[in-house]
Structure 1
Amino acid sequence: MKTITKKERDCLIMIKEFKNSVFPVRLKDLSGMMNIKPPSVLEILNRLEEKGLIKKDRGMIALTIDGEEEYKRIVTVHRTLEVLYSRSGIDADEACKKIGNFDFLVDYDDAKKISNALGNPKKCPHGKEIQV
């Protein structure tokens, strides 16, 4: 597992979940979605590329195989923690918001242990699949 920042996590998720025609996401798209200036996005992309999580080609950006795996880990951790929070009485939307501030710091193996303790839920409170 690579160590990433919150902005890098946000960028990975946006690259993976970008849905706009047949073209991969571009710097301009990410800048708008993340509400930060293109030079700052480029800096984030360069760090992700150094970590082997993305590839840039003629202005288009895509996840590498390692980037796809990191995305899956992030989503699994996030959704597992959503289940934990919601079962503890925290509103699902509020849980999602709070967890988004730290999910990228939680170890995937720890999330698997939490999932096991929760009975290995198959879906998060929002109905999205959890793949542990």
Structure 2
Amino acid sequence: MEAITKKERDCLITIKESSSGPFPVRLKDLSASMNIKPPSVLEILNRLQEKGLIKKDRGMVALTEKGEETYRKIVMVHRTLEVLYSRSGIDADDACRKIGNFDFLIDYDDAKKISQSIGNPKMCPHGKKIDE
């Protein structure tokens, strides 16, 4: 997985979760969802496009295949770490918030090892599926 920043991670997640089916998200909606001014979102999008993670067309934004894969890996890492944190006694919502600050930095292969060490959980504490 190519190195990304927290803002890029947040943007990828927002693009994926704001898109409805095959329809891409609009730049202005992305800006509103992320609470970031359009020029700043455009700067993030340009970096994501350079990394091959998104495609832009006439104000519309969608993840590429590589972007979809990066999204899946970030979500897997995030949810696996949520399980680890919650099993350690940390509140699930606190775990989610804290992990969101660094999940994009964790190596996917390391997260798979963590998952194995905690029994390959299938669901995070919020009931969302963990896919490998």
The one-letter code matched in structure 2 to 1:110 is D
1:45 and 2:16 matched: no
Gaps of 5+ in 1: none
Q: Percent identity?
A: 79
> 1:21: Cα distance to partner?
8.4
Tell me the residue number matched to 1:83. 83
The one-letter code matched in structure 1 to 2:64 is T
The one-letter code matched in structure 2 to 1:18 is S
Tell me the residue number matched to 1:96. 96
Distance 1:130-1:20 versus aligned 2 partners, 3 A rule: closer
Gaps of 5+ in 2: none
CA RMSD of aligned residues (A): 1.2
1:125 and 2:125 matched: yes
| Counterparts of 1:113 and 1:126, CA distance in 2 | 21
Runs of 4+ in 1 over 2 A off after TM superposition: 19-23
Matched pairs, number: 132
Tell me the residue number matched to 1:25. 25
> 1:54: Cα distance to partner?
0.2
| Counterparts of 1:78 and 1:18, CA distance in 2 | 18
What TM-score comes out, normalization by structure 1 length? 0.96
What TM-score comes out, normalization by structure 2 length? 0.96
| Counterparts of 2:100 and 2:120, CA distance in 1 | 21
